[in-house]
Amino acid sequence: MLDRHIFIIGMPGCGKSSLGRKVASIMGLNYVDTDQRIEQAAGCSVTQIFEQYGEAAFRAAETNVLIQLTREPGSLVSTGGGMVIREVNREIMRNHGIILLVDRPLEEIMGDIKLNRRPMLAVKGLPEVERLYHERIDVYRSVADVVLDNSHGYYAGLAGMEKIIRRRFNLNAAHRKDA
């Protein structure tokens, strides 16, 4: 249904995966979570990849997943929070899709982020979330083709993401899986 990918970027805890998975289900779109792809390929968790092989190996794996996606049909793709760190990843995403930033205020992210599910954040805690936010937010905003304000709750985020996709790809409500 999509002629190119929609790469969802943003901070850990901003809603990339939960919104992306649900909107893909509602709209009948292919859905890919890059962290899950990496885990499947490696046969271990992201946390274990960081512990055993280091961040550089994980970042290389992210790039490899993006390269694989360039050979696949258009999908809604939730990326890891650090995907945009590497310029090569930004170029691949620009050349093979649109980049959708899920923007959520830092206070909301810090209020409900599950640190135990986030390997880079689990040890360092909330101060690390704040540091990463300030380090990355300008990069996220500069690379985004479109921004979803996810500060009004889950259901508003779902509706907003669906609306963005419909507008960008000229899809009407008849394309809705539950319609």
Residue 179 lies in a domain: no
Q: Could you tell me if residue 43 is inside a domain?
A: yes
Q: What averages of pLDDT result for each successive group of 10 residues across the chain (179 residues)?
A: 93 93 96 96 89 92 96 96 95 97 90 65 73 93 97 96 93 58
Output the pLDDT for position 120.
61
In a domain, 176, yes or no: no
State the pTM of this model.
Answer: 0.90
Asked if residue 148 is part of any domain, the answer here is yes
Q: Does 57 reside within a domain?
A: yes
- Asked if residue 175 is part of any domain, the answer here is no
User: Is 38 within the bounds of a domain?
Assistant: yes
CATH code of 88's domain: 3.40.50.300
CA 50 to the chain's CA centroid:
19
Residue 174 forms part of a structural domain: no
**Total domains, the chain:** 1
Q: Containing domain of residue 153, as a range?
A: 5-168
Q: Decide the pairing of beta strands 76-78 and 146-149.
A: unpaired
